[in-house]
Every structure is written in structure tokens, then in C-alpha cells.
Structure 1
Amino acid sequence: MSNNKTHKITPPTVADSPMWDRLMGNYNFACLMVSAQLDITGLIEQGYDTCKSLSQKLQLSDKGMRFFLLVLSHLGHICYDNHRLKNTELSQSYLSKDSLYYWGEVLLDPFHIYNVNHLDKKILTSLEREYELECKGRSVTDMWQNNDMDSESAAAFTHLMHSQGFASAVTAVSNGIFAEVQCLMDAGGGSGAIALPFCDSYPKRKAVLFDLTPVCAVASEYVQNFGKKEQVRIVPGDFFTGSWPEGCDGICLSNILHDWRPETCQFLIDKAFAFLPNGGHLFIHDMLLDETRLTPSLFCFHLFMNHGSQLYSTDELNEMLEKAGFEDTQCRRALGYFFVVSARKPQVS
């Protein structure tokens, strides 16, 4: 203080624990990333179920491993049973390499999307000017929009998006959201995260996986691995400039619109309306913006920093759908923060 006036020092009126929570929160995802790199979940499944056996197997500090495992237990990924480590259901679902819903492609972060190093500078940069996520020195958004994604980058992004979206997609299908559809187009479908569970739930129905050529090469592996070659037709193409494959009475845009600005989203919704037959359905599977909740707000800002885009609220999506001519808009929960907003193209009387 620069003056000589005596000030009475009074205690604060609110605890500083939230400040500590935010500070230490930087370690939460970083610890999960390290857990994936070390495959802690897999090692515990193999029988390395004590701190000592893990540290010896990995040739790491026993004391450090004890503290690290304590963090993983607080995050809900491991627990102790008679002094033996066990993977929780959360860990078995999302950190086990044998799980359909393995998040390893996210946690290993090949594009450094979630790297916390210099994150403050990235935030400031995005507030000063719109930031673009880059891959090999080029804008990822431009690569998608201009149909100019190389095979290696397309494969990495497809695996990444599958890890993030498959669990919610399977849940959405199991909830009967697509029950009225006979042939579903998974537009910009990547791995077929929607098409695969749709065909699994409805063995006599068909799906079309429509995406860029380098993505389709990766998608064919997923379709083969899930045994859906007879039901899923893979069609390469560009949903911005090209024609869409015929014969579908339903279209799903799964984790698509959050990558684009409103005018682009409206363009895609308008195009879907023109393409669908009368009575056909459009489905938007995505996390929705809820300004009262932290994680959707953070993800919305994350999208802005990486693509200049955003999450959309139910009201915003409904407005776009109604502007295109759709009716009977509905919003149904999929999994966690994810929902499916649906609408129907009117029947002609």
C-alpha cells in the first residue's frame, strides 16, 4: 500500500475454496490424460492392483504413484477393496481399451486441442480475434468446408469424435428417438456413431453414412468391425456443395452444427428440408447450450476458441428449424449433457 493510513484488516466474507478448486482443477484432466498414457485401467485389470505393483511395473516413484492414485480415486475412476485397487464402472466404461466407449482418442489428444499449456494466452488471443484450430499449419474448419482434409488428419479426427460421441449416440437410439425412420442418413457421420447403433437396434432397416472421402475410408473399418456392411451404405461426398444420397426418410446431424456459425447451420438445415420427403425427420444430436451450467458454457467457449463457432440452445435450434419450414419440433435427452432436437417436414394434404 502506498499511503500511511492504517487499515483495519478484516477477514473475507466468502471462503477461498472455490479459488483453490479452480486452480487445482487444471490437474483433473491432465491426470486422466496421464492415466490413459500409462493405461492404469488396463494394468489394474491385468492384476497390478496395488500401488507398489503399479509403480514397480511402470518404474515410477512409489510415493508419487500413491498420491496420483489418490487423485484418480477422488475423480471416481478407481476405488479400494481390501487394500486392492479396483476400476470403477466409470473407468471400465471410458478408460478401458476394451470398452466400446473408450475415451483414449480424446485423452491422448493427438491435435493438442485440450493442452492446458499457455491456455491463458489462447483465451486472450481468441478474445482479440477469432482463433482457428490448426492442423499442420492449416485451419481445420477450412479443411472440412473445402473438402481438403488429408487422410491422416481425417482418421485422427474421426477416432477422436467417435470417442466423444458414441456413448450418447447409442443411448439416443436406445431411447427410441429414431423409431419412425426406415432409412437414416448419418450426415457428416464420421465413424457412423449414429448409423451403427441405429442398424443394431433395427436389423431390418438401412442407414447411409455420408462424409468426405478420407473419412469414409475410416468409416468402412468401423462398419466392418461392427458387422453392419449389409445395412450401412457408405457414400463419399460433400454436404456443402454436393448432392445428398437419395432414399432416406431421416437425416441426423450428430455433433455437426456446433462446428459452424449460425448462417452455415441454417444453410444445412434448409438443405435437409429440401432433401427430405414429406413427413421425413431431421435430428440434431449435440450438446445444447445451457447458460446456467458450467460445462456446456465452457464447451461453448472452447468451440469459439477453436472454430469461431458455438453451442446452440434449444430455442435457437427451434428457430432455425421453423425458419426452414419444419414443424413438430421436440427435444429429448440422450446422455449427460447431450440431447436430440428433432423436427418433421410437413405432409402435403
Structure 2
Amino acid sequence: MQIQPPTISDAPLWDRLMGNYTFACLMVAAQLNICGLIEEGCNTSEKLARKLQLSHKGINHYLLILNHLGYISIENNQLKNTKLAKNYLDKTSPYYWGEVLLDPFSIYDINHLDKKILTSLKCEYELECKGRSVTDMWQNDEMDNESAAAFTRLMHSQGFASAVKAASNGTFKSVNTLLDAGAGSGTIALAFCDAYPDRNALLFDLGPVCETAKEYVEKFNKKEQITVVKGDLFSANWPTGFDGICFSNVLHDWQEATCENLLSKAFSLLPKGGHIFIHDMLLDESQLTPSLFSFHLFMNHGSQLFSEQQLVQLLTITGFKNPLCHKALGYFSVVSAQKA
């Protein structure tokens, strides 16, 4: 019997197979500081190869990948950084993604992901730090200073650009004093205070996290506007004196019941007319990246991304009114509501 040709191309399999290299190439760009070297004058493949003492042939292949990914342009053998690279691969940029790309906890190690997927499907979640569950360490306030600092910097790299975009769009215009709850580096507090120099924010998180957050507050010259308050989001008394609360990249780490408790706590503390904000990537099952990120959260914490509809439902259950969705940056949005 004659072998029949396939009824569909195998190109998608090749795309996914070769796609394993794309993030690895960005990680190497951060490790070698490719963007910085181009800005310093190593603007040809020959100069880069000589500076890094690497194979010229190999560098040519590698730069072609960065060109296809949109991080550099190559014209007449001259290399230029694109806006994408200048925003996210330049160490001097406030939106530098190096803390993610250097992957200090091997979260994105391709050699480990298949095993991690299978483990998580058995409901055994394994984002670990020094042999312990990261989720348990956060919830029990047992994260050591070094690990907390690394995680805080990583999350800042992922979240700051969207926070600034949201604040610049006027998302928080109704607020005079904003509580950044579970703040991490204070991406929302920093962005809010930069957009409104006459207003103030409270940055609330665990002690080890706050030590790193203070570095960002000082770096962006916001010490006069931002008060850093140490405390456990789950067990400590929250600070007072605010008319807005924001959970930025917080709820996606927790089960729905825990999120409902946090929103109920926020409702009880807000004054009448106060506003709640949830800054996060929204689940859209028609898009691959949010679906992948939601599965990534499941693998790490047994948690999930929420869709706009799910967040609105949580806000309604906990007493909030007039929900709105504000576009931020890329896949990120801010869902807001009011205590009527």
C-alpha cells in the first residue's frame, strides 16, 4: 500500500521546536549585554565578536535571530537597537527585563519544564527556593532577605512598564492616597506618585520585601510621597488613611477563596466612595500567551489568571459597584470598582 502524504504541514511543530531557542537567545543577550555594547559602539558583528572573544560566524547567526525577534536591526552590516531593545534590554532603562532574563531561580529552564508540567498535573506544585515551597514561604512570612530581594526585582522587571502606562492613562485619577497592597517593589505606588506629584501612596508588604522596595523608592526620588509599611497581608493590621487600594500582580498567586477574603478586607477598610484596583494580566482563552501564563501560575502555585468577567464577579460578591476595565500595556489591564 502506498504511503499517503500528510494532510497538513509540520511547520507548526518546527515553529514550536525552534521556539525553545527564542527566550534562551534573549537570556544570552542579557548575559552578554548585547544592547549596551551596541550603544557603546560595537555596532558590527565583527566588533561584537572581537569584544566578546566569540566566534564571528556564530555571532552572525545569533544576531540574525535577534533581528527576527525585533530587538536589533541590521542595515549595511550596521547594528542598531530597536525601541524594544532600548526599553527592555538596556540596563539603564527603568523597564529593564534583566532580572527576569537572568532567571535566578531557573523558573524558565526548558530542560525542567516538561517534568514540571507533569508534576503540576498531579496537583503537586513546585516553585521552590532553597528546597521549600515559595508559596508557603510568602504566606508564612518566612522568605529570607536574599531570596525576597531577587523575587522582588524579578517582579519589578515584569510589572513596572504596565504600571506606568496605567497611571499615565489616568486610571487612578480618582484617588488621593493609594495603598499598594502586597506591593513588592511598589510598581503601582511609584507610578501613581510619578503621575501625581501632589499625592501620596502607602507601600505595604513583608519586611524583607520592603527593604528592597525602599531601594526603588529612593532610586525614583519618591521618599516624600511614599510611606513604606511592613506587614503581613494575611494576618497583620493594614495601614489606614487611604481612599484607594491596588492589588498589582497579587491575586493571580492565590486560590479564589483567598482572593475573595483579600477583597472583602479591602472593602471593609475603604471609605465610602473609595476605589479598588486590580492590575494584572487578564485571562483570555482565545490568546496563547495569557493561557500559557495562567498554566505557568498553576504549575508554580496551583493558582490561575482571572478573566475580566471573573474579577468583576469577585468584586461584586465582596460588595463593590460600578466595575470598569482599563487597558494598561500589552496583555495587562486594570479592573476597578467603587465602594458605593
Q: TM-score range by the shorter chain?
A: over 0.9
Letter in structure 2 aligned against 1:211: D
Instruction: Give the unaligned 5+ runs of structure 2.
Output: none
2:272 corresponds to 1:278 = yes
Is the contact made by 2:217 and 2:223 (CA closer than 8 Å) also made in structure 1?
A: yes
What is the aligned counterpart of 2:317 among 312, 323, 332? 323
Alpha-carbon deviation of 1:296?
0.2
Letter in 2 for 1:154: A
Report the CA distance between 1:259 and its aligned residue. 0.6
Q: Distance in 2 between matches of 1:60 and 1:42?
A: 17
Q: Distance in 2 between matches of 1:27 and 1:257?
A: 31
Alignment match, 2:225 = 231
Residue 3 of structure 1 is matched in structure 2 by none
Q: Take 1:292 and 1:196, find their aligned partners in 2: how far apart are those partners?
A: 33
Note the C-alpha offset of 1:128: 1.8
SS of equivalent to 1:118: helix
Q: Partner letter of residue 216 of structure 2?
A: Y
Q: 2:186 aligned with 1:192, yes or no?
A: yes
Q: What pairs with 1:156-167 in structure 2 (closer than 5 Å)?
A: 156-167=150-161
- Give distance in 2, aligned partners of 1:81 and 1:65: 16
2:40 aligns with 46
> What aligned pairs does 1:197-236 form with structure 2 within 5 A after superposition?
197-236=191-230
Report the Cα distance in structure 2 between the residues aligned to 1:332 and 1:94, rounded to whole angstroms: 23
Question: 1:304-334: CA deviations, max 9, x gaps?
Answer: 0111110001111111110000000011110
The residue number in structure 1 matching 2:329 is: 335
The answer (yes or no) to whether the contact 1:132–1:308 under 8 Å persists in 2 is no
Deviation at 1:64, TM superposition (A): 0.7
Contact 2:96 2:157 in 1 (8 A): yes
Larger radius of gyration: 1
Distance across 2 between alignment mates of 1:118 and 1:182: 46
User: TM-score when scaled to structure 2?
Assistant: 0.99
2: CA distance, partners of 1:312 / 1:332: 15
Which of 7, 11, 26 is the matching residue for 2:5? 11
Q: Which amino acid aligns with 2:73?
A: C
CA distance in 2, matches of 1:132, 1:323: 31
Q: Which residue of 2 aligns with 1:75?
A: 69
Deviation string 1:30-76 (CA, Å, 9 cap, x unpaired) is 00001110111111011111111111111111111110001110000
Counterpart of 1:106 (choices 88, 92, 100) is: 100
Structure 1 stretches of 4+ with a deviation exceeding 2 A read none
Cα distance between partner residues in 1 of 2:35 and 2:74: 13
CA distance in 2 between counterparts of 1:122 and 1:245 reads 38
Which residue in 1 is equivalent to 2:124? 130
Question: What is the TM-score of this pair, normalised by structure 1?
Answer: 0.96
How far, CA to CA, are the matches of 1:14 and 1:144 in structure 2?
47
1-structure distance, mates of 2:313, 2:96: 35
- 1:94-130 Cα deviation digits (max 9, x unpaired): 0000101000000000011111113111111111233
Whole-Å Cα distance in 1 between the matches of residues 111 and 194 of structure 2? Answer: 41
Contact 2:87 2:93 in 1 (8 A): yes
Q: CA deviation at 1:190?
A: 1.1
Deviation at 1:147, TM superposition (A): 1.1
Q: Pick from 137, 148, 162: which aligns with 1:168?
A: 162
Query: Distance between the aligned counterparts of 2:88 and 2:78, measured in 1?
Result: 21
Question: How far apart are 1:211 and its partner, in Å?
Answer: 0.5
Identity %: 66
Flag structure 1 segments of 5+ consecutive residues without an equivalent. Answer: 1-5
1:288·1:339 contact (CA, 8 Å) conserved in 2?
yes
Q: Distance in 2 between matches of 1:201 and 1:299?
A: 29
RMSD: 0.8
1:335 to partner: Cα distance: 0.3
1:177 aligns with 2:168: no
Would you say 1:149 and 2:143 are equivalent positions? yes
**Secondary structure at 1:117's aligned position in 2?**
helix
Q: 1:132–1:141: 8 Å Cα contact kept in structure 2?
A: no
Q: 2:293 aligned to 285, 296, 299, which one?
A: 299
**Which residue type is aligned with residue 185 of structure 2?**
S
The answer for the alignment partner of 1:269 in structure 2 is 263
Q: SS in structure 2 opposite 1:203?
A: coil
